[in-house]
Structures are given as C-alpha cells and as structure tokens.
Amino acid sequence: MQKESNEILIISIKRLLRRGATKQLKNIIQKTHTVDLSAVFRELSTDNREKLFPLIETIEKKGILLSKLEENIFLEIVKTIKLENLVEIFDQMPADDAAELLGRLDEELSDEILKKMKTKGSEDVEELMSHGEDTAGSLMMPDFIALREDVGAREVIDALQNKFLDVEMPFYIYVVDEYEKLVGVSSLRQLVVVQPEKPLKEFMARDIVSVKTYTDREEVAKVVSRYDYLAVPVVDDDNRIVGIVTVDDVIDILHDSATEDMLKMAGVGDDYIETQTILRGTKIRLPWLFASFLGGIAAFLIIGGYEESLAQYTFLAAFIPVIMGMGGNIGTQSSTIVVRGIATGMINVRDFWKIISKELAIGLILGVFYGLFIGIVASVTYRAEPVFIPLAISVGLAVVASMSVAALVGSGIPLLFEKINVDPAIATGPFVTTAVDIVSVSCYFMIATLLLGI
Amino acid sequence: MQKESNEILIISIKRLLRRGATKQLKNIIQKTHTVDLSAVFRELSTDNREKLFPLIETIEKKGILLSKLEENIFLEIVKTIKLENLVEIFDQMPADDAAELLGRLDEELSDEILKKMKTKGSEDVEELMSHGEDTAGSLMMPDFIALREDVGAREVIDALQNKFLDVEMPFYIYVVDEYEKLVGVSSLRQLVVVQPEKPLKEFMARDIVSVKTYTDREEVAKVVSRYDYLAVPVVDDDNRIVGIVTVDDVIDILHDSATEDMLKMAGVGDDYIETQTILRGTKIRLPWLFASFLGGIAAFLIIGGYEESLAQYTFLAAFIPVIMGMGGNIGTQSSTIVVRGIATGMINVRDFWKIISKELAIGLILGVFYGLFIGIVASVTYRAEPVFIPLAISVGLAVVASMSVAALVGSGIPLLFEKINVDPAIATGPFVTTAVDIVSVSCYFMIATLLLGI
C-alpha cells in the first residue's frame, strides 16, 4: 500500500516538474512526509532533484530530508546549495544528524560550515564529531533530562514542562548524584504514579545499563534491543552522563549491520548499494572474487597433478561438480549459522569445541547420507566398468570427507576470526569457499587414486 | 563488558545451585535483570533450570522471563509448572506476550489456561490469537490512548494521570472522530506546549500512518523504522484503532527477519538456532542440500555426455572448478545484493530490466577480466600442447559466459520470485547455486568442444 502511494506521488511530481508547476509542487511537498519525499528524490534525475530541493519550504524540513538521503544523492544536492543556506540548515538540525552529515563532506567544507554555525550548535556538533566513527559518542544526542536524586516528583514534572521543553525524547529522567554521576533512571509513567513530594532516589530504578562514549555502535544496538530500551545513556569514564542514543538510531544500526554482514559474507565489501554505477559496482566486487579465483587455480593445479589418473578413468571428472557443490553448500550453511549466531549473541566463542564438534557431527551424518546416494548413482551409471565398485566407494567417501571437513572449516573459521577479533563476516565468505574447494578436490583425488589403485 | 559480567553471573549461580544455597540464589535473582537471567537459563542444564525457576520471587518476573526464553527452553520449563501457577503467570502478563507464548503451547493446554484466566485478560489474549500469525493483529498491544478530537490539552493530561495510568507506552495520544475512526495523533511533548484549552483537533498531526490488523509483521517493521515511530497504530477495515505495535517488537522483527533471510539464502530453512541438537540440526539441513545434490547430478550427466572429448583432452577437467567457482561466487554476490535490496526497500521490482541489465554488464566486465587471467594461466600451463591457443580461448570464454549468466540469473531469480510474491530469500539460495552450476558446466563444454573441434 505504502509502495503504491509512493509511486503515484513520484509520477505526479515528475509530471509537475515537466510542466514547471512550482505552486502545485510546493503544495505537494508540504503535504508529504519527509521520508516519502526522500523516496521521491531517490527516483528523480539530478536535474530534477536540483529543481525540487529549493521548493521545500522550511529549513527544518530541508535538514530532515538531507539526513534521510543516501550518501551519493546527499553529496550531489549539497553541491547545489549556497554556503549560507547550508549553514542555516545545519544550524536547525539535531546535533547528531548534523555531525553525521558533516562527516560525509570533505573536511574543508565541513570546517567552513562549522565556523559559520552558531556557537552553541557548532560546539555540540564538534563534540560529537570528536568521537571515533561508529561509536556511541558519535551517535548520541546531547539533549536529555538529568536531575539530582533529591528532586521531588512534582518538581520533576515542572522541570519537564519548562526547562526541558525542547528535549526530543523525554521518556527517561536520568538521575545523577552530587558528583554528576549516573545513579538511576525514572520514567514519565512512574512520575505521575508516585506522591508529588517523593524524591527521585526513593522510586528510581537503580539497575541501569549505560554505554561508554567509545562503545562500538553494534554493541550499543545490542544493549538497547536486549533490554527493550527506548534510549540508552552514554557516560564518560567517570560515569557522568554525556548523551543518549535513541531507539530510532538503533534500528538504523541493526538494519545496516545485518546488511553489512550479508554483503561481507557474499564477498561484496560492506557498503555496496544497488544505486551504484556499473563501473563502481565492478570495482567493488572485483577484488572479492580474487579469493575464489585463487581457490579455482589451486584446484586446477591439484587436478592437473592427477592427469594420468584422469586419462585412465575419464569418468572421474564428471563427479568433480557434485563433490565440490555438496562441500561448498554445507560449508555455507555452517558458516552462516555461526556468523549470524555470533552477531545475535546466540553463539559464544567460549563454546568453540562444542560448536565445531557438533557441526562436524552434522557434516558427517549428512555426508554419509548424500555420499551413499551419490555412490549409488555412480555405481548404477558406470555398472559396465570393471572398477565400478571402487569408483562408487571413492565417490561416496569423497562426499563424506568433503562435507564433514566443510562443516568443520565453515564453523571453525568464523569462530577463530572472532577469537582474534577479526570481523567473522568479512573474513568468512571468501575464505570458507576457497578452503572448501581446495579440500574437496584434494580429498576426492586422493581417495580415488588410492581405491582405484592408479 | 556485558558478556563478561554475564559469565561471572552464570558461574556464581551454577556454584550456588550445586551447594543448594537457596537464600543466596533468591538474592541474586532479585538483583538480576530478567534479560540477563534469561541468558543464565540458556546456559543451565534442564535440572538446574527446574530448580532455579521456582526461586524467582514475583509472578510478573516469572512471566517476563518466560517471554524472553527460546522456544525449546520455554516449553521445557512450562512442563514443570503446575497449571494453576501457569494461569497466575499468564494473568499477569501483557496480552501480546501472553498471546505469543500461548501460541507456542499445544492447543489443549493453551485452551485450559485461557479458560481459567480472568475474563478480561483472556478475552484480550483470545482477540490477539484470532489474528493470523505474523500479522500486526497478533503482535499489537491492546492498551493505548485514544481520545476525541474536541478534548482539550489540559483534559488530555488529566486523563493520562487517571484513566490511562496503566498504559505501558504513553507516548502518543491517538485522536478519533465521532465514529471512532483514527484521524490524528498528538505527542506528550506537544500537550505541554500548547494552551490548556486548545482541543486536540487544532494541534494534532494529521499525516498519520497506520497498519491493518492483517498487515504482515515485516511490513509493520518497515513502517516503524521508516518513519522513526515509537509505535504504529493498528486499525480495522473501518479505520478504527484496535491496538498499537511498539518499537521494541519491531526491533525483534528486524532481528528475526535479517536472520531468517540469511539462513534461507544459505539453505538452512528459516528458524535454525544453534542450540538445536545434532539430530534436529541434521534434519533441518538435509532437505536444503537436496537442491545442490540435484544440481551436482545434472552437472555429472552433462559432463558424462562429453566423455569422449575428455578422453581426448584430459586437461579440460582441471578447469571445471575454477569456472564453476567464479560463476557461483558472482551469482551469490548478485543475489545477495538483490535479496537484501528488496528487503531494505533499496531495490524496487519495477526496475527489473534496469537492475538485471546492470548486473549483466557487471558480470560481463568481471568475466572478461577474470577470463583473460584464467585464459593466460591455461595457455602458459599447457603451452606444450598443440591446441593450447583454442584451449585458452575456450576456458576464457567459458569464464565470461559463466560469470555473466550467473550475474543475470543471480539477480533475475530473486526479482522474479518477488514479482510472483514468493519470498525471494528462501527461493534464491538453492535455485541460484543449482542453476549457475548447470549453466557453467554446459557453457564450458559447449564452447570447448566447438573451439577444439572435438
């Protein structure tokens, strides 16, 4: 439903742009949610984007739109905006969005914008930009509600209605002690239930989980989703609250990191977006295929070494695909289960031996099952050959060996990478495929030459 | 950090369980967040789980814990709880959690519990359970705040502090007209800013996005994450609000659906969890390998048809792995990009031709690149053979053909499935791999026999 209404919107806007109907365009833009507008921008040509952007009425909406666009479209539109207008837009933006967008610009331009922004705003933004990329510190919003332990419930409500009116997410009231250290949290809902005079320290929750400014964004997302928080407080090394990361950012992180993991495992880098050009797409994907190229060449050299055996029993070649395929597929199963298990916290590296021995067992059972099957196919097809029994046994055993080793390697490699703090997703894709290819081919020809007595 | 403190917790609890130190255990449980407690339960033996569960003090905490456990652990613990205690626990639970958990029990037991629950609670739960699984209706919370358009801001605040005190997520005030139809929404923050007498209709937001009771959960998650909502209203066919789905459920959905997509693409079904036993793991993974088994057998038959060519030029066999591998890997790249692109809304099926022609172009360029490389390797290795030039050309062309067709198939199959409303993730994994295997081998031998004049 959403999709269809967006399509109608895009078509109308394109038509109005062709006709140059500025007034109607302004009208439509005003009525459209910024998120839907960003979907429209994605579909427009560069020219049309340039025409449409200035028609957005408020500076605030321009800012929200910019923060919703993909990086390449954002950079393209920024080029068409005058510096003073950019400064205005960034002045209106929440500090966390501004910090993120400025980080995408080249340093010269972002410095210039920061210099011309209002002092308070630019300080907040620079503070955020000073934290490492992808940390809680770079994501957090600097406005939140923090009050002392001895403030009464009524006073808190008063403060909410006056002092904290512009706080965007007023769900949690953080409680600090006399040293400004975070000691508890209360919610809007609790405030209205307790007696007006009761001080925060008597009804606040004390089991509060916080993150540090340098905590990695994926860890932040884990905390928020684990505890069903709407926001998590960010503290410095002295446990003083300096900001909050809200659930909408966490949703973006979860989205991104699932996408990144999938792309890494498929060997497409970690930031591939479909809107990229053919040339850029080719450039990103080229190096990742190199691992499988090397694996293929290794398999080629191995098979080359068995040329005489192949000359004697040509039919050996016909089984190469099925043996490699079965190994490759169970390897992908195992590594996907482990990589995703690590990402979701279902798998703990502590259980290394337990996990890989279980995977090995599953590989072995499935290997015996499919090995039998393929062995039967081999013996039936080549029943006229004198060596059809050792052939069938070789092929079957090769499937068993290839599938169990593949399950072992597929689960072991990501676990090992996690142990040495290398991202298991990025390392696993090419490694596992290549390793499994080489192992499968080697096993097959070793077993076959042995059993066929070549 | 989180992880380490959990490990210490688990070790302490195990030790106390061995010593039978009931009092200390109760003490620890009381201080531990339910989420962390659920992590402990995951690590305990069945016996210890049975011992620990009754030590949880409040019925409410028991309920929250049950709703945080994995399905198999939940079912195991439920067996050890007396019916009357179960009823008590379900009576205390939020209706959406109760509905979800009851759905996991066998019908007889869940009917019995529902019969014994308090009337109001069981009605809410049964209402939720009546909606299709994985729809907004089955996920929603039936308590929310809805008021008429003409209610003034002050009155709304009063209602919040009295009538709606037990609403769990009081962030949005939904506004309905005289027919109870949803017409707008206001936030807590707006309420305190406007003049006390102003009626809702004068300051509410009208561009409200809602979902139907039968909207699929993944669509619900898309709406919430797209618009950065904390909750989305669920309406019936007459646009009357019947519940809300909150952001914490959406995070769970996003997590689950990313996991499901990854598992489906790897060919492991959609609900594989690592905690499963070897036997169950084997059973789930067995059928998914059947597709690659069939692909392998097809490749085997194809190669078998070229036995004479192979007998003449044995070295042809050595190139099978690299040609299949390059095709397989670029196919995985393309299908992952498309499947994830569809899931995140970055790719629209409308652009079918644009996407597959782009992928084909990328496949072609990468194919020429790696084809040249592999052709050179072939000609250098077999420079002593009289046919080394046509051999190198065949191998290179086969790589070009295999990689471009794989990119085409890898992107086209998920798009086609999406078009006919079949889940692209589940269909893509086995299909793409199998199709690419068959195509690669066929291309290779066709080109080789042609050029080598066999």
Identify from A31, A156, A262 which residue to disrupt to test chain B contact, counting B C-beta atoms within 10 A and taking the largest count.
A262
Determine the distance in angstroms separating the CA of B81 from the nearest CA of chain A, rounded to an integer.
26
Residue of chain B minimizing CA distance to A158: B192
How many structural domains are present in chain A? Answer: 3
- Put simply, the answer to whether A2 touches B323 (Cβ < 8 Å) is no
Q: Among A76-90, A270-284, B376-390, where is mean pLDDT lowest?
A: A270-284
Within 8 A of A329 by CB-CB distance, chain B residues are: 267, 288-289, 292, 433
Could you say which DSSP state residue A53 is in?
Answer: G
Whether B211 has a pLDDT exceeding 70, the answer reads yes
Position A11 in a domain: yes
Identify the closest residue of chain B to A300 by CA–CA distance: B318
Chain A nearest-CA distance from B115, in A, is 31
CA distance A180 to A228: 25
Residue type, A322: V
Which of A228, A346, A379 has the most B C-beta neighbours within 10 Å, making it the best mutation to test the interface with B? A228
Same domain, B182 and B65: no
In a domain, B307, yes or no: yes
Contact call for residues A168 and B188 (beta carbons, < 8 A):
no
Do B119 and B185 sit in the same domain of this protein? no
Q: How far apart are CA A376 and CA B312, in angstroms?
A: 27
- Lowest mean pLDDT across A46-55, A221-230, B84-93, B273-282: B273-282
B140 is a domain residue: no
Q: How far is CA A226 from CA A189, B248, B251, B270, in A?
A: 21, 9, 10, 22
Tell me which residue in A250, A293, A355 faces B326 most closely, judged by beta carbons. Answer: A293
Share of chain A above pLDDT 70, in %: 96
What pLDDT is attached to residue B307?
87
Tell which phi-psi region holds residue A229, choosing left (phi > 0), alpha (psi between -120 and 50) or beta: beta
Give the mean pLDDT of A45-65: 89
Closest-CA distance, A422 to chain B, in angstroms, reads: 18
Query: What local confidence, expressed as pLDDT, does residue B39 receive?
Result: 85
Q: What is the pLDDT of residue A275?
A: 62
Cross-chain CB nearest to B274 (options A228, A347, A377)? A347
CB B134 within 8 A of CB B253: no
Residue pLDDT, tens place only, B117-143:
887 778 888 888 888 778 999 889 888
Are B266 and A336 an interchain contact pair (Cβ–Cβ within 8 Å)?
A: yes
User: Which band of pLDDT confidence, cut at 50, 70 and 90, is reported for residue B1?
Assistant: very low
Residues from chain A that touch B310, judged by Cβ atoms under 8 A, are: 310, 314, 317
Mean pLDDT within B331-357: 87
pTM: 0.76
Q: Which of B209, B225, B340 sits opposite A262 (nearest CB)?
A: B340
Domain identity same for A160 and A202: yes
Cβ-based contacts under 8 A for chains A and B: 315
How do residues A288-330 score in pLDDT, each as one tens digit? 888 889 989 999 999 999 988 888 888 899 999 999 999 988 9
Q: Do A296 and B374 touch (CB under 8 A)?
A: yes
Nearest-by-Cβ selection for B344 from A224, A259, A348: A259
Confidence band for A30, pLDDT divided at 50, 70 and 90? confident
Can you give the pLDDT at residue B260?
A: 84
| Triad A362, A367, A370: Cα angle to 5° | 125
Buried b (16+ CB within 10 A) or exposed e, B403-427: bbbbbbbbbbbbbbbbeeeebbbbb
SS3 content of chain A, % helix, strand, coil (to 5): 70, 10, 20
Is the Cα dihedral B344, B350, B351, B352 positive or negative? Answer: positive
- Whether B274 has a pLDDT exceeding 70, the answer reads no
pLDDT number for residue B122: 83
Residue A236: its pLDDT value, please? Answer: 92
Q: Shortest CB distance from A341 goes to which of B251, B274, B341?
A: B274
Q: For residue range A108-146, list pLDDT tens digits in order.
A: 898 899 888 887 778 888 888 888 778 999 889 888 899
Mean local confidence (pLDDT), A332-348: 86
For A235-254, what is each residue's pLDDT tens digit? 999 999 999 999 988 988 88
The answer to whether residue B335 scores a pLDDT higher than 70 is: yes
Average of per-residue pLDDT across A268-296: 80
What counts of helices (H) and strands (E) characterise chain B? 22, 6
CA dihedral defined by A394, A398, A400, A404, rounded to 10 degrees?
A: 160
The partner residue sitting opposite B303, judged by closest CB among A317, A325, A441, is A317
Give the gap in angstroms from C-alpha B22 to the nearest C-alpha of chain A: 22
Shared domain for B290 and B408, answered yes or no, is yes
Q: Which amino acid is present at B240?
A: R
pLDDT tens-digit map of A6-24: 778 888 899 999 998 899 9
The pLDDT of residue B271:
67
Quick check: B258 pLDDT over 80? yes
Q: Which residues of A touch B31 (CB under 8 A)?
A: 207
pLDDT class of B241 with cuts at 50, 70, 90 = very high
Whether the pLDDT of residue A2 is over 60: the answer is: no
Are B262 and A336 a contacting pair, CB within 8 Å?
Answer: yes
pLDDT score of B196 = 84
Pair B58, B164 in one domain: no
What is the CATH classification number for the domain harbouring A216? 3.10.580.10
- The CB density around residue B28, as the number of other CB atoms within 10 Å, is 18
φ, ψ of residue A188 to 5 degrees: the values are -50, -40
CB contact (8 A) between residue B321 and residue A303: yes
| Subunit contact B250:A251, Cβ cutoff 8 A | yes
Strand partners, B245: B232
Does residue B22 form part of some domain? yes
Cβ contacts of B348 on chain A, cutoff 8 Å: 3
Tokens (6 digits) for B107:
């019908």
Residue B318 and residue A307: Cβ atoms within 8 Å?
yes
Contact A274/B314, CB-based, under 8 Å? no
As for the ipTM of the complex, it is 0.76
Smallest Cα distance from B263 to chain A, Å: 7
Q: Which of A134, A154, A189 is the last residue of a domain?
A: A134
Subunit contact A297:B377, Cβ cutoff 8 A: yes
H or E element, residue B395: helix B388-419
pLDDT band of residue A57 (cuts 50, 70, 90) is confident
Beta bridge partners of A184: A175
Q: B398 or A193: whose pLDDT is higher?
A: B398
Verify that A128 and A217 share a domain, yes or no: no
> Do the beta carbons of residue B102 and residue B114 sit within 8 Å?
yes
Residues of A in contact with B347 (CB under 8 A): 274
B108 and B192: one domain? no
Gap between the Cα atoms of A270 and A159, Å rounded: 45
Asked if A265's CB is within 8 angstroms of B336's CB, the reply is yes
pLDDT recorded at residue A378: 93
A113 and A203 part of one domain: no
**A259 domain residue, yes or no:** no
Helix axes B247-265, B320-344, angle to 10 degrees: 160
> How far is the C-alpha of B113 from the C-alpha of B121, rounded, in Å?
11
Considering B246, B269, B304, which residue would you say is the last residue of a domain?
A: B246
B146-166: average pLDDT: 84
* Residue where one domain finishes, among candidates B135, B163, B181: B135
- Beta carbons of A230 and B252 less than 8 Å apart: no
Domain of residue A110, CATH code: 1.25.60.10
Give alpha helix (H) positions in B179-216: 188-193, 200-203
pLDDT at B270: 67
Q: List pLDDT tens digits, range B188-210.
A: 777 777 888 899 999 998 888 99
**Residue of A29, A194, A314, A319 best to disrupt the B interface, most CBs of B under 10 A:** A314
Of A2, A289, A341, which has the smallest distance from its Cβ to B366's Cβ?
A289
How many Å apart are CA A367 and CA A327, to the nearest integer?
A: 9
Domain assignment present for residue A111? The answer is yes
Q: Once rounded to an integer, what is the mean pLDDT over residues A346-361?
A: 89
Q: How far is B400 from chain A (nearest CA, A)?
A: 13
pLDDT band per the 50, 70, 90 thresholds, residue B227: confident
User: Are residues A156 and A90 located together in one domain of the fold?
Assistant: no
A34 vs B409, more confident = B409
| Both tokens assigned to B198 | 């102003």
Q: What is the Cα–Cα distance from B174 to B233, expressed in whole angstroms?
A: 8
* Angstrom distance (rounded) from CA B411 to CA B331: 8
Answer for the pair A240, A182: CB distance below 8 angstroms, yes or no: yes
- The mean predicted confidence, pLDDT, of chain A is 87
Length in residues, chain A: 454
Of B278, B293, B319, the CB nearest to A358: B278
Round to whole Å and give the CA distance between A254 and B377.
Answer: 43
CA angle centred on A63, ends A100 and B208, rounded to 5°? 110
pLDDT digits (tens, 9 = 90+) for A367-416: 999 999 999 999 999 998 888 999 999 999 999 999 999 999 999 999 99
How many percent of chain A have pLDDT more than 90? Answer: 35
B265 located within any domain = no
Nearest to B403 by CA among B291, B322, B338: B322
Backbone angles phi, psi at A396, to 5 degrees: -60, -50
Q: Which residues does chain B have within 8 Å of residue A225's beta carbon, measured at their own beta carbons?
A: 248, 251-252, 255
Mean pLDDT (whole number) for B151-164: 83
Q: With 50 as the cut, is the pLDDT of residue A1 above it?
A: no
- A368 and A321, same structural domain? yes
Mean pLDDT within B42-69: 88
Name the pLDDT band for B4 (thresholds 50, 70, 90): low
Beta-strand (E) ranges in A17-164? 146-148
User: CA of A150 to nearest chain B CA: how many angstroms apart?
Assistant: 23
Q: Facing residues of A419 across strands?
A: none
Residue of B nearest to A323 (CA): B296
Q: How far apart are CA A122 and CA B216, in angstroms?
A: 43
Of B219, B324, B337, the CB nearest to A324: B324
Beta partners for residue A181, in sequence order: A240
The shortest C-alpha distance from B63 to chain A (Å) reads 15
Tokens of A202: 């008597």
Given a cut of 60, whether residue A3 has pLDDT beyond it is no
Q: Taking residues B30-39, report their average pLDDT.
A: 85
| B169 plus B126 within the same structural domain | no
Q: To the nearest whole angstrom, how far is the Cα of B252 from the nearest Cα of chain A?
A: 8
A299 and A417 in a common domain: yes
Whether residue B273 is predicted with pLDDT greater than 70 in this model: the reply is no
CATH number where A438 lies: 1.10.357.20
Which of A398, A396, A331 minimizes the C-alpha distance to A360? A331
Task: Provide Rg for chain B, Cα atoms.
Answer: 30
* Structural domain range at position A353: 278-452
Residue B5 has pLDDT above 60, yes or no: yes
Name the nearest CA neighbour of A170 among A183, A181, A157, A182: A157
Q: pLDDT by residue (tens digit) across B70-96?
A: 888 898 899 888 898 999 999 888 888
Which residues of A fall within a CB distance of 8 Å from B161? 192
| Contacts with A344 from chain B: Cβ below 8 Å | 255, 259
Mean pLDDT of B163-190: 84
Measured distance CA(A316)–CA(A306) in Å, rounded: 10
Question: Is B267 a member of any domain?
Answer: no
User: What long-range pairs does A317-320 form, CB within 8 A, spacing at least 24?
Assistant: A317/B303, A317/B310, A317/B316, A317/B317, A317/B320, A318/B299, A318/B300, A318/B301, A318/B303, A318/B304, A318/B307, A319/A374, A319/A378, A319/A395, A319/A398, A319/A444, A319/B300, A320/A441, A320/A444, A320/B303, A320/B317, A320/B320, A320/B321
Interface contact A433-B325, CB threshold 8 A = yes
Q: Which chain A positions have a beta carbon within 8 Å of B301's beta carbon?
A: 318
Contact A346 B273 (CB under 8 A): yes
A277: which 2 tokens?
């050009």
Q: Inform me whether the pLDDT recorded for B434 exceeds 50.
A: yes
Q: Which among A97, A261, A323, A324 is the top mutation candidate for probing chain B, defined by the most B β-carbons within 10 Å of its own β-carbon?
A: A324
Q: Where are the alpha helices (DSSP H) in B273-351?
A: 278-304, 307-312, 320-344
